[in-house]
Structure 1
Amino acid sequence: MSKSAAARPVPPAPAQPRTVDPAGALFGIALPVLAAAAGLLLTWLWSSRLPAPIATHWSGQTPDGFGSAWSTAATMAIVLMLVGGGCSAFAALAGAQLMMRRTMLLIGLGVVGLLTAAWVALLWAQLDIADAADARMPMSALAVGLVIGLAVGVLGAALLREHRERAAADAPPDPGLPRGPVELPIVDQLGLSTVAAACWVLGGGAITVGLCLLAGSWWLFPVFGAVGLLTLSLLRYRVTVDETGLRVRNMGMDTVHYGVEELIGAKVDEVQPFRDFGGWGLRVKGRGNYAVATRSGPAVVFTAANGQRLTVTTARAEEMAGALNTLADRRFHNQHST
């Protein structure tokens, strides 16, 4: 071996993608475990002040089901972990699609907040009473728990990061793919329009008010309001092509981002959401095949060097595909001209 060869520096090994997102593990796994543990601890601390048996189920304001405090606590802990924690734990999987991780975290922590509040309210309502039949469940606590759970979920969702494997393309896009002028940014709003969103809010609000009047209580209003706003946010997307690549925003956060350096090629395809992806919105069809499918018609299809593919239905598909391929051409030319 020559002296010059021996002195040649060895390039560092590529960084391995994460398998666990730290923020996802904290919010999606640790928080549900802490909530279940806190409920068990509270049951133990208050056990001497509770009647035997305790009320475990209500019809309106009247208890109609009874059981032991510890069997109820065990059931609540199991349901909280399996349902709430089972959903939110998905957020810890760093390799999974970012928006799906955020959605599952929001759903899971919403359930955790609701169940934790129900558990605490159930115990608190029966402190220092002799007969559990006299207990009155504070239903408003359920709304408070759900809203707090969703608020914590939004915070956790904002802290999640995309840790997928990235690879740089080693060739420019196929010459047969569309090219076009690069007039950036190219932006399109997908999903529910502003008018449809306003109708959603007004219609949902009217239905919620009607249900509250029928129930004789307003605790349902924040519950349906929080769920309705969350659902609305999941139905609206903003897709942008700029000098960095293709990105999709949802709930005010970047959900998907593929860089120009990853682009093998961008093409235009005709898509029908239910026929091609089995539904509307963010979809997954097989490993690494994602779509934001909100309408039938043209779609830009971004194929990345790591084998993943993102399909986005947009009326500006031809313009986006042409700009992306042109940007990738420029990048490849600049790299090989220096």
Structure 2
Amino acid sequence: MTTRQVDPVGVLLGLVVPLLCAVAVLVLTRSWLPRLPGEIATHWSGTAPDSFGPPMTSAWTAALLIVLVGGGCCAIAALAQAQLLMRRYMLAIGLGVTGTITALFLAGLAGQLDTTDATQAALEGRPAVLGMWAGVAVGWFGGRLLRDGRERKAATAAPDPSLPRGRAELPIVEQVGTGAGTTAGLSLLVLIPALVVCGATQSWWPLGLIAPVGLLVLGLLRYTVVVDADGIRVSNLATDALGYDLDEIVGAKVTETRPFQDWGGWGLRAKGGKRYGLVTRTGPAVVVTTASGHEFTVTATRAEEMAGAINTLADAR
């Protein structure tokens, strides 16, 4: 079966968009040269500029940062067979960085138009915040259009008779990950340092930069696992992150697993070429294998019920 290697949406958002932002920085700087001082402010210490340079040199530096840092983060979105959730998160982060650098540089440049003394240039944080939020929003909602290009192969036989069977009222839905209290506590660990930085700078904009990244990180702490007549899937922040269709499932079993000892960490993990795990606690887990050789482990209190339902559905298939 031929599988997709490149995701067109990932190419557009992860490669083309950062490149266009870099080109926009260079073109606008070139067009504004007659209205800019010979050297522009390029770095600020607090609210006062402390570093200066020629406009086009600064523009090339900003363009390279956009391509190498922003584009480098979200380029993985173009790889169709890479883990879908990772591609979505890296796309959102990469475009957030791209939007921040682009907006901050162009706003700083615009603030120095028709001036002769760059030492008086002010640093405005609002454009950077708007650029960050716009980039993250485009990356996250655009990332919903990404498609999983992994190999899919139809199962040709019923699950092994020794595997558990059982009928359950479908769908079986379970929330896994941190509880509401833990999530709130971790949110404070992000919020308090951000407020300290805001107090030190006497401005709100550092909070505006930290908040979207904090939301993405906290989103990695909670998942929803659903088993239904279509198979098994995992969603995160109301978006499907990983899924296996019923017609490709060879079977499901129950095992005991430990996140750090068995998987080297907590959350959505990869181990080897085709082994994936959503491991958020020590205890029972359902292990789903597919005809293409994938093995997916997810810790769940209803692991026995999930495995039985999957095997029963596969028998009927």
TM range (shorter): over 0.9
Instruction: Look up the match of 1:49.
Output: 35
Q: Is the 2:89–2:140 Cα contact (8 Å) retained in structure 1?
A: no
Q: Tell whether the 8 Å contact from 1:51 to 1:129 is kept in structure 2 after alignment.
A: yes
Q: How does 1:12-91 map to 2 (within 5 A)?
A: 16-91=2-77
Partner of 2:87: 101
Post-superposition Cα deviations, 1:99-139, rounded to whole Å, max 9, x if no partner, equal: 11111111111111111112112211221111211111112
* SS in structure 2 at match of 1:26: helix
Aligned match of 1:224 = 210
Aligned to 1:7: none
**Once structures 1 and 2 are overlaid, which stretch shifts more, 196-205 or 135-144?**
196-205
The answer as to whether partners of 1:273 and 1:279 remain within 8 angstroms in 2 is yes
The question of whether the paired residues in 2 share the 8 Å contact of 1:39 and 1:77 is answered with yes
Indicate the residue corresponding to 2:113 in structure 1: 127
Match of 1:140 among 126, 129, 152: 126
> Is residue 182–residue 326 contact of structure 1 (8 Å, CA) maintained in 2?
no
Gaps of 5+ in 1: 1-13, 332-338
Contact in 1 for aligned 2:29/2:59 (Cα 8 Å): yes
CA distance in 1, matches of 2:45, 2:193: 22
**Structure 2: which amino acid aligns with 1:114?**
T
Name the counterpart of 2:186: 200
- Helix, strand or coil: the match of 1:159? coil
Of 287, 310, 314 in structure 2, the residue corresponding to residue 324 of structure 1 is 310
Post-superposition CA distance 1:226-280 (Å, at most 9, x none): 1221211222100010011100001211111101111112111222212222211
Number of matched residues?
Answer: 317
Q: Distance in 2 between matches of 1:278 and 1:124?
A: 48
Structure 1 equivalent of residue 102 of structure 2: 116
What is the Cα deviation at residue 198 of structure 1? 3.0
- Normalised by the size of structure 1, how large is the TM-score? 0.90
Pick which of 115-124 and 29-38 moved more.
115-124
Deviation track 1:58-100 (CA, whole Å, cap 9, x = no partner) reads: 1011111111211211111111111111111111111112111
Distance (Å, rounded) in 2 between the aligned partners of 1:100 and 1:41: 33
Task: State the shift of 1:163 in Å.
Answer: 2.3
Measure how far apart 1:206 and its partner are: 4.2
* 276-285 or 243-252, larger mean C-alpha shift: 276-285
> Residue in 2 aligned with 1:5?
none
In structure 2, the partner of 1:158 is 144
Distance 1:283 1:48 in 2: 53
- 2:245 equivalent in structure 1: 259
User: Is residue 182–residue 327 contact of structure 1 (8 Å, CA) maintained in 2?
Assistant: no
Partner of 1:186: 172
- TM-score (norm: length of structure 2): 0.95
Whether the 8 Å contact between 2:89 and 2:216 is mirrored in structure 1 is no
Quick one: percent identity of the two aligned structures? 52
Q: Paired residue for 1:11?
A: none
Structure 1 residue 203: Cα displacement? 5.1
